[in-house]
Structures are given as structure tokens and as C-alpha cells.
Chain A
Amino acid sequence: MDAQTHRVLLVEDNPDHAEMVMRSFREHQKGDAIHRVADGEEALDYLFRQGRYADPLSSPRPELILLDLRLPKVDGLEVLVRLKTAEGLKRIPVIILTTSESEVDLVRAYDGYANSYLVKPVDFDKFIRLMGDLGLYWLGWNHLA
């Protein structure tokens, strides 16, 4: 695996949602460019290269992070704060991708320096379009640090 195949880190506990995101990426981008972790703890392990991600080869730096908020073990907001305060990680754009439309979650996400806050659309077509636009914008138009 080279760096090009791991451009996006998906932090999503719901396997169905993860599947949908990854299928969208496969249709619009290169599907194997995405890596999924299932909870907050695993996300931190990957990003801070500890536990089973201690080998840097297994945990290349992502260009974009898609982060769910409600996660088992370590909450999504805590993951956000941890990585946004880590010197080598804080410039990676973090897109919050959640079912929550809660004002509290929105504010706390931006306070934690989230780069974008997206609510998963229930409608399938919108979901597909959002994924397409997201990939186009963040991996296409957007300049990464």
C-alpha cells in the first residue's frame, strides 16, 4: 500500500454507514484510498500510531478525516480535540459526519476546530451526492497543508 491508497480515514462505528460511505468513494474516487476504523479508541491508535497501528506503514497520515461523533469507547469530540491539539495532526481537515443535528454537537465540533460539519442525509440520492461533492471539494479543489 502506498500513501495514495490511504488518503481518507473514516471513523465510523456503524458498519452499514461505513459501507455506504466507502461505496460512494469507490464510485466517485478510488475506493481503496479510504481506511475505516470502528471506534474512537482505534482512531486514536491509528492517528497516534500506537497499539496495532504502531507500525507507521500500517498508519499513513490521512489527507482527510471523516469523523462520526457518537462512538464507542472514546467519543468523537474527544478524538477531534486530541488530534487538533497534536502538532503533527492538527492541519489535517476533519469533516464531522454524523446523524446529529444537535446545536450542542455543532458548536462543540467547531469549538474543537472541526473543518466542516455534515449531517448524514436520510435520503439516498442526497447521501450519494454529498459524498461525491465532499470528495470533489476536499480531495480535489481544496489545497492541503
Chain B
Amino acid sequence: MKAGMRGRMIIIILPVVLTALALSTMTILALSVAAQRDRSATLAFEAARGYAGRFDAQLEARLAIPRTMARFMEANRSADRQEVMDGLKRVLDMNPTIIGADVGYEPEAFDGRDEEYRNAPGHDATGRFLPYWNRLAGSARLDPMVDMDISDWYLIPKRTGRDTILEPFTYEGVLMTSLMCPILRDGEFAGIAGVDISLEQMDREVSAIRVFDSGYAILASAAGRLVSFPDKSRIGAAALADLGPAFGSIAEDASRRNAGRIEGTDPVSGAAALLCYAPIGTAGWTMILVAPSAEMYQDVERLAGSMALVAVASALLVSVAIVVAAGTVARPVVALSAMADAIAGGNLDARAPENQGGELGALARAFNNMTTRLDEAFTEVRLSVAELTRARAAQDALITELEDRNAELARFTYAVSHDLKSPLITIKGFLGYVLKEAECGDTEGLRTDIRRVDEAANRMSLLLDDLLELSRIGRISRPPTYNPLGDLAREAGAMVAGRLEAIGAELIIAPDLPVVFGDKERLRELLQNLIDNAAKFMGDQASPRIEVGADKGPEEPVFYVRDNGTGIDPRYLSRIFGLFEKLDQASSGTGLGLAIVKRIVEVHGGRIWAESGGTGKGSEFRFTLNENAVKAKEGAGNGRADP
């Protein structure tokens, strides 16, 4: 019962709560991870744009040099060639990052005096002004530029009329780029001014960029050539697209000057990485940040881990709480249930504890009220039933008594009619004979028959006396008193002293007889009749003895009057207390003595019976009295009436 209810509560509540907890945890985790990932990705992306801007500014700053040179050349038409070449030398000397500085004019475009400078330093064979101060070989020197009419670095600015940052190129093992600006004269293209810069410095700067722990930056040119890359051997040689499919997409998108981010693979480690790219506007180059996913989402994973931990801990806590709560909620209900079982089992004293609050306390109180009412009702019913039972028993006892009385009355009537008639028949009969004998003078016959009539009349008188006595017992009663039974026995013995003396009988009265409560005269008559009866049936006993005494019975004492006379045939033991029953017709008496004895014992609430070993073995009349009739003397004189 207990485990059942508690178990059911746990089985119902726990999965629901745990599922809800798991769902919410998963949702929060997913949202958090997404947000965190987004934040990391945005961070990386913004970093990419930041670096792109920085290098854009750097390139722009470098581009300012040739631009200034170009504007200068446009403004000072009068400057001579040597002056320009000296200026180039100064630019080279002043900027260590610049490997070369140059100007290149269209033929005759500078001052129309090319002829004069054929094969002069900084000029070609036609005398075209092409000075190129450089330190490609280490120390600074002046060279004429070559192949300019077939090279992009000259043709693109000439064609577009715009500043141009050339595709990086390797010269003497050094990756470089050229920043070229067109020199316009009266809106006409006259030549270019430019500087060559080493990209090694830029590569170092890009290589110094760290994204998270091991992430890095890649710099690619407009054509997709690698300008900065961890593997230096691939700089200038490999293209973006060579790094993987994601980089192909980046190259394509970057060519349209777009910024973006894409999930891809770190070309160095081969691990998953977020690739963020942003254009470097001036040069059309692309800055790419490789952010390793593992590092970028490290926080996210840590977050997920701790959240999972918290979720598991919460689940455990909630489980324990539910188990405990189920027990707490179930306990009073289980107690109520146990109480209901107890009540069903008949224990109406069972009560539920009322000390919890809320509905359960109210329920317990209601339950207890109900039980109390039930108990009261049951008690009433029990009392009623007990009363009914008592009344019924009393009624039954009354009916039984009434039936007994009726039967007794019938027996009495019958016996009286029979036994009173007998002496009448004798009297009338022998009076008839007396008349005949008187007529014929038979004096002997007369004497005999008159004696018969006389005896019959006497017997009838005795019979009437005894019948009257019998009818009075229990009907006419004197107030009961406390009487020592020993005294009564001695008085009874004195009343029949004559008969006892005549047969030489010894009467022995026990010394320890108790005090009995009842009608003194009747009790003495009882003992007298029994002693007389014993003396009457002594037979030819040589030493007749009659004992009066008491035995301790299981409930009340059993009194006895015992003799060593003729005894009683066991077949007739039950009949001897009947009205007019005489076992020996020759014996004196009316046959009512023992009936009177029985009646006296009965009105004193006792019973009487006879015991005998058989004819010639003596007999014993044993009787009890109502237990209330045998008690100590302290209650004497309370005037209680006999029923």
C-alpha cells in the first residue's frame, strides 16, 4: 500500500519533471551554443574586417608616396632629369621599406629632349626617361626600366589612368609589389611614378596575427595569390583555391569585393575552422582569418559541459525532492488508509494524525470525525443489541419459568386429584364395610376397618397440610436473614430427635458450615426434611449415621446430607423429587417431603440432586444455594427481599 502510492507518484511525476528538465536544458543549451557560436563567428568576422582595414590603410599610406611623386611631376614641368633622379634617390634612402622608386615616361614626354640622353643612366637607348633607383642588389643603384611597354605595371595605369597596386611578384627571391600612379599632363597620360615595396614586412605583420589560440591570418592578392601564409614556401606560388573548396568560394566572393564567413578546413592542421574574409579595398586583396572551430567554440563547449553538469545535478536534486515529497505526501494518506483498514477490521479507536495542514489535515480531521460518529453509532447499536439480548434472555427465562410453572401446576393438579382421591376411596369403601360389619355384628372386622378409615383420614389431613405448605413456599415469604447453617442444622436435628433416638442414629454436623442468607424457617425445614428422610430410610443399618456438611464447589459451596442407609436404586434417582413419589409405599409420609425440599432450594436460587451408590449403599442429597445467599456476614441487615 505504502510503496504503491509513493511508487505511483514517483513513476508519474519523475519522468515528466526529468523530461521537462532535459528539454529545457537542451533548448537553452542549443540556443546558448548558437548564440555563443554566432558571437564567436561575428568576433572573428569583425577581426577579419579590422585587419583588412588596417592593411588597406597601410597600403594606402605606401601608395601616397608614388602619388605624391606623380603630382609633383605633373606640377613641375621645368624640373630637369637629374633633379628627378636625385629625388628618386632620396625617396629610396628615406623609406627602408621601399626597394625601388621609379618614374617612367612616354617617349619624348618628359621634356622632348630624349635624344640628348641616349644610353645615359636611367635612360634607354632611345634616351627615354626611365630612371629606377633600387636596392635589389643590396646597395642603391640606378637602372633604366625595361620592357615597360609590354608590362602590366606600366600598361594598366596607362590604360586605366588610375593608381594601381600590382600583383605581387618575386624578384631575386623577394616577394614584392609595385605601387604605380599615372602622371597626367593636360589630361594626357605622360608616364608613371611608382615604388616597389617588399611584402616581407607585411607578411610578418600578418603572420603575427593570432586568431584564438592557433588560428592565423592569410593575405591573398586580387588574383588570389598567397601574400602571407604560415607555410612561407607557398607564398607567391600557391593560389587561394589550392587551399581547399571553401577557399575557392572565398576567392570567387572576394573578387567581387565582398566580405563573409564560411565553414571550412584549416589548410595547415586539417581541422574544422571558420573562415572569415574581408576585402582590402585599395589593392583588391583579401584578408582571411582562419579560426579553428575547436578553439572558437571552446567556450561554447565549456558552457555546454557546465550546463549539462548543472542539468544532471538538477535532475538528481529534483528526483530526490520528488521521492521525498512523494513520501511526505503519501505518508498521511497511507496513515489514513491504514486507519480505514483498521476501522474496516473493527477497530473504531483508530485515529489519523491531524497535525498536517491543508487538505490532508482537513481530510484527517473529517476522517476522525466520521470514525468518532461511527464509534458512537456502533456503541449505541452495541448497547441496543445488548439490551435487546438481555431483554430477550429475560423474556426467554420468563417463558421458560412460566412453562415450568404450568407443567408443575399440571402435575400438581393431576397429583392432587389422584392422591386426594385415594384416601377418599379408602374412607368411603371401608365405611361401607363398617356398615355391613355393624349389621352382622362382626366386631373384629369393625375395629380393623374403622382403624383403616381413621388412618386414611389422617393421611388426608397430612396431605392437605403438606400441599398447603408446598403452595406457600416462595409465595408467602419472610424477610431473608443471615443464618449460620450449622445452627439451623442443629435446630432441625432437635425437631426430629424423636425419630433419630428411636433408630439410634448419630447426627454429625460439620463445624465449618457457612452463614447463608435466606428464609430461616424454610432453610431449617429443608434440613429437617432431609435429615428426617435419611432417618426414615435407614433400613436395618446397625449404626445409623447422618452427616450434614459442605464441599467447596467450583463456584458456590455444595451442601450435603449424607446417610449410610438403604440407598436409592440409580434408576429412580430422578423421580424421587416428584410430587407424591414414594419409592416405598409402606413408608410413612405423603410423598411430598422431597418435593418441598426441592421447592425450598429452588426459591433460594439453588438446585438439588441425589447421589447413591445403589441399594444398601447409603444416599447423599446434595444442594446449592444462590451464590448471593452464601456470603460473609458484613452485608447483614440490609433488608433485601427474597425474589
Chain A residues within CB distance 8 Å of chain B: 13-17, 19-20, 23, 38-39, 70, 72-73, 98-102, 104, 120-125, 127-128
Contact = CB atoms under 8 A, between A and B. Distances in A.
Interface string B427-449: 01111110000000000000000
A92 B528 CA distance: 46
B431 A99 contact: no
7 contacts: A16-B452, A73-B572, A99-B421, A102-B414, A102-B418, A124-B432, A127-B428
Chain B interface size, under 10 / 10 to 19 / 20 to 34 / 35 or more: 20 to 34
A99 B572 contact: no
B54 to A, nearest CB: 147
B581 interface: yes
Contacts of A13: 582, 585
B36 interface: no
B584 interface: yes
Contact of B429 (A16, A38, A101): A16
Nearest to B420: A99
A100 B414 contact: yes
A99 B422 contact: yes
Given A127-B425, A127-B429, A128-B432, A15 B585 contact: yes
A101 B417 contact: yes
A122 B427 CA distance: 9
A95 B419 CA distance: 20
B156 interface: no
Contact of A125 (B422, B432, B572, B583): B432
A14 B580 contact: no
Given A14-B422, A73-B572, A38 B428 contact: no
B569 interface: yes
B426 interface: yes
B583 A72 contact: yes
Contacts of A104: 414
Contacts of A100: 414, 417-418
A122 B424 contact: yes
Contact of A122 (B414, B428, B452): B428
Majority SS of interface residues in chain B? Answer: helix
Given A73-B571, A99-B425, A122-B425, 7 more contacts: A19-B452, A20-B425, A38-B586, A72-B584, A102-B414, A120-B425, A127-B425
Given A100-B414, A100-B417, A20 B429 contact: yes
Contacts of B343: none
A106 to B, nearest CB: 12
A23 B433 contact: yes
A66 B582 CA distance: 20
Contacts of B571: 73
Contacts of A15: 585
Contacts of B425: 16-17, 20, 99, 120-122, 127
B318 to A, nearest CB: 95
Candidate in A20, A120, A124 with the most chain B CB atoms within 10 angstroms = A124
Nearest to A14: B422
B307 interface: no
Contacts of A128: 432
B456 interface: yes
A14 B583 CA distance: 13
B581 A72 contact: yes
Nearest to B430: A16
A123 B426 contact: no
A125 B421 CA distance: 16
A70 B431 contact: no
A28 to B, nearest CB: 15
Given A17-B422, A101-B417, A70 B585 contact: no
A19 B145 CA distance: 199
A31 to B, nearest CB: 14
B429 A73 contact: no
A63 B585 CA distance: 26
Contacts of B424: 122
Would you list the 3 A-B pairs with minimal beta carbon distance, nearest first? Answer: A124-B432, A16-B426, A13-B585
Nearest to A119: B421
Nearest to A21: B429
A20 B448 CA distance: 13
Contact of B580 (A70, A73, A122, A123): A70
Contacts of A19: 452
Given A14-B585, A16-B452, A39-B585, A70 B418 contact: yes
Nearest to B456: A16
Nearest to A15: B585
Interface in B320-362: none
Contact of B426 (A14, A73, A101, A121): A14
Contacts of B456: 16
A124 B432 CA distance: 6
Candidate in B572, B585, B586 with the most chain A CB atoms within 10 angstroms = B585
Contacts of A16: 425-426, 429-430, 452, 456
A17 B426 contact: yes
A101 B586 CA distance: 25
Contacts of A73: 569, 571-572, 583
A39 to B, nearest CB: 6
Contacts of A120: 421, 425
A59 B395 CA distance: 55
A142 B433 CA distance: 29
Contacts of B431: 124
B429 A124 contact: yes
Nearest to B581: A72
A15 B426 CA distance: 9
Nearest to B586: A38
Interface string B474-506: 000000000000000000000000000000000
A124 B583 CA distance: 28
B585 A123 contact: no
A124 B580 contact: no
Contacts of B422: 14, 17, 99
Given A72-B583, A100-B414, A102-B414, A123 B452 contact: no
B414 A72 contact: no
A57 B418 CA distance: 35
A129 to B, nearest CB: 12
Interface string B572-604: 100000001111111000000000000000000
Nearest to B448: A19
B418 A99 contact: yes
A127 B429 CA distance: 8
Contacts of A127: 425, 428-429, 432
Contacts of B433: 23, 124
